[in-house]
Chain A
Amino acid sequence: MTTTAATTTGTATATATRRSRPLNVVRSIVRRPASAVAVGFVLLLVFLAIAGPLVSPHDPEVQDLGNRFAGLSSTHLLGTDEFGRDVASRIIQASRIAVTAPLISVGVALLIGLPLGLWAGLRGGVVDAVAGRLADTILSLPALVGALAIVAVLGPGLVNAMLAVGIIFAPGLFRVVRGATLAVAEETFVESAVAIGSSTRRTLWVHILPNIAAPLLVQVTILMGVALLAEASLSFIGLGVQPPDASWGSMLKSAYTNQFDSPFSVVPSGVAMVLTVLAFNTIGDSIRDAVGLRRRT
């Protein structure tokens, strides 16, 4: 026994300096310049979404018809649109939607895909068979067409549009979760969780979920970007955000209609969108690298 004590104290001091894994992941993400900038950008976006009215230079909904399509100036940093509204203020107002819309749709997708995927991965059976076929069916539809059909039933509007996008996302997420769960369920610790009397539900949430967190997080951040684009697309064709609310998609639409009167006005909303999607993807990539998942090309 004394020999064990001696050897184990040796390893104890050697490993005591190591930290828990989640902290390491966060640290390694923030340390990379690209992902640090991306995280900063998303934080800025969240700040604008919350504190928008306090920092926006003008009321985004006040029209000034004598001052349509104004160019860039110190009063209107990004100019004005076809009703003379301040574009910078509208970009800021729309950032609220840029943050909430992906949250709604990814939230819906998680609500549907996560429990089903976990259950199907661990237990298989009827749930796996039914949910799997359903997922195949939804995935065989072009995503936007599917979303259009759902919005046609629910009616236009931001929440309905994002619900639709969430439903479209659910099968992909289901597949990712199911696959990851299948792999983890092979591990003995899942069996030993069952062997200490853990129920299926507890095994799934306490023992399996933390172990599939890495691929899940990657998928979620990338879906956030895709959701933003989906929102913009639906708003562009008038099924998402309804006026007078601003969304980058609806702004892009009006800028597109008026591009001969004001060629510059496609730039602000377009750039905002590109940067945001890029930020989400960069974060997704660096989570993937930080947790050591293989890049699939």
Chain B
Amino acid sequence: MTPGPGQLNGAEAAADLRQAADLRQAGEGRQKGDGPQAGEPLLAVKGLTIDLPGGAVQPGLVEDVTFDVHKGRAVALIGESGCGKSLTSMAILGLLPAAVRVTAGSVMFDGVDLLTCSKRQLRRVRGGPVGMVFQEPMSSLNPTMTVGDQIAEVRRLHLGERRSVALKQARELLERVGIPKAEKRLRSYPHEMSGGMQQRVMIAAAIACEPKLLIADEPTTALDVTIQAEILELLRDLRRDLDLAVLLVTHDLGVVADFCDDVVVMYAGHIAERTPVDGLFYEPKHPYSSALLSAVPQSGRARTNLTVISGRVPSAGQFPTGCRFEPRCEHSVDSFCRRPQADTALADDHRTRCGRVAAGELTLKGAVRG
């Protein structure tokens, strides 16, 4: 299934954002990273380029992706399917399929470049300071191992705990992620649980060693809407309690508005726009971001046509030589947009790859007015 832009679920995005602003004004403040980003980032991805070796597909699948994740902050990686979001998130922990390779760039985590460090070092990071949650909870758990053993395995691998000790910890983790009758559940097999429960187990395993960063690749996509909300609620609690930074790969603009501090919008292997979350919704600086926002169904607009982005994401190898969004962009100007666009900083924390916006020729429509 390839969710198109029309399926981006952001119906509540606008409402969420408004609510958030209200809360902030009321002085309560949402549980989001506080204040401006200071000091060294926890995770710094720089110039990440992923290619299919052999040169069959040029330019690469992901090109020159740069972003930071600071301690305790949540960063969203959004875009349509096939834009390179998942590849980017997998490259961080060296989980790319054998057929593709990182050909340039660095992924600094806590002072270590995960792309060049030894296998042993990488193994120590995986599941230790960086946890990962996948999209499909049903297939992410080993069907032949009990849930307890799978959570305990993380602690046994990283902390060298004995099985009995680790199982005791696994029990607490199950309780922590809101699974009732944890003692009994330890001995359950994954097929005996619902999808939502399985995702909770995955999260329990991912946070078993108290990571600093959680990479979640569409953690709620495969779940029912009500369960989605519960899982997000759980992630939010965990962020608060563990001061966890989160890199969230998602299609869901509602989730972005609700959960994240910063947004990285990817299109066709490039970063189109990078901004704090408010910037995306109030003043998008790339036509693609703006188009995504307008493709979200909104309440109060019944019986009107839903805006869609015509065409589809070009596959790798067929990227236009100029701006990659140009063929689908309603603001494109031939002469200008057919040239490659540079990544330009508009403000400290807001960057775009649209030359027209950067030059001040174009002002785009956000999802939220006023």
Which A residues form the contact surface with B (CB < 8 A)? 1, 4-5, 8-9, 11-12, 15-16, 18, 20-21, 123-124, 187-189, 191-199, 202, 206-207, 210-211, 213
Contacts and interface: CB of A to CB of B under 8 A. Distances in A.
Given A12-B181, A21-B189, A195 B194 contact: no
B95 A188 contact: no
Nearest to B196: A4
Contacts of B349: none
A4 B126 contact: no
B134 to A, nearest CB: 5
B205 interface: yes
A1 B196 CA distance: 13
B179 A199 contact: no
Interface string B82-112: 0000000000010100100000000000000
A83 B208 CA distance: 72
25 contacts: A8-B179, A8-B197, A11-B194, A11-B197, A12-B184, A15-B188, A15-B192, A188-B134, A188-B135, A188-B136, A189-B141, A189-B143, A192-B132, A192-B202, A193-B142, A194-B126, A195-B132, A197-B127, A197-B128, A197-B154, A198-B153, A206-B153, A207-B142, A210-B142, A210-B145
Q: In the complex, which range does the number of interface residues on chain B fall in?
A: 35 or more
Given A1-B230, A188-B135, A196-B132, 10 more contacts: A4-B178, A12-B184, A188-B139, A189-B140, A191-B95, A192-B141, A192-B205, A194-B95, A197-B124, A202-B157
A265 to B, nearest CB: 49
Give 9 closest A-B pairs by Cβ, nearest first.
A196-B127, A210-B144, A197-B127, A15-B192, A197-B126, A195-B132, A188-B139, A188-B140, A197-B123
A192 B124 CA distance: 14
B10 to A, nearest CB: 25
A8 B194 contact: yes
Interface in B147-206: 153-154, 157-158, 178-181, 184-185, 188-189, 192-194, 196-197, 202, 205-206
Contacts of B178: 1, 4
Contacts of B179: 8
A197 B158 contact: yes
B340 to A, nearest CB: 34
Contacts of B197: 8, 11
B15 interface: no
Contacts of B184: 12, 16
Interface of B: 93, 95, 98, 123-128, 131-132, 134-136, 139-145, 153-154, 157-158, 178-181, 184-185, 188-189, 192-194, 196-197, 202, 205-206, 208, 230, 233
A189 B139 contact: yes
A192 B134 contact: yes
Contacts of A207: 142, 145
Contacts of A9: 180-181
A96 B317 CA distance: 65
A195 B143 contact: no
A18 B192 contact: yes
A4 B233 CA distance: 12
B142 A211 contact: yes
Contact of B127 (A15, A189, A195): A195
Contacts of A21: 144, 189
Nearest to B137: A188
A197 B144 contact: no
Contact of B93 (A16, A193, A195): A195
Contacts of B123: 197-199
A207 B153 CA distance: 11
Contact of B189 (A1, A20, A196, A198): A20
B202 A196 contact: no
A196 B205 contact: yes
A183 to B, nearest CB: 12
B88 to A, nearest CB: 15
A202 B142 CA distance: 13
A25 B125 CA distance: 38
Contacts of B127: 195-198
Contacts of B124: 197
Contacts of A193: 142
Given A21-B189, A189-B139, A211 B144 contact: yes
A124 B99 CA distance: 11
Contacts of B134: 188, 191-192, 195
A187 B145 CA distance: 14
Contacts of B185: 12
Contacts of A20: 189
Most chain B CB neighbours (cut-off 10 Å) among A187, A192, A193: A192
Most chain B CB neighbours (cut-off 10 Å) among A11, A15, A189, A211: A189
Nearest to B179: A8
Contacts of B180: 5, 8-9, 12
Contacts of A202: 157
A196 B233 CA distance: 23
Contacts of B154: 196-197
A90 B196 CA distance: 63
A197 B157 contact: yes
Contacts of B181: 9, 12
Nearest to A187: B139
A191 B93 CA distance: 11
Nearest to A191: B95
Contacts of B95: 191, 194-195
A211 B93 CA distance: 25
Contacts of A4: 178, 196, 230
A55 B184 CA distance: 49
B247 to A, nearest CB: 13
Given A12-B180, A16-B184, A198-B157, A211 B192 contact: no
A175 B131 CA distance: 35
A4 B197 CA distance: 10
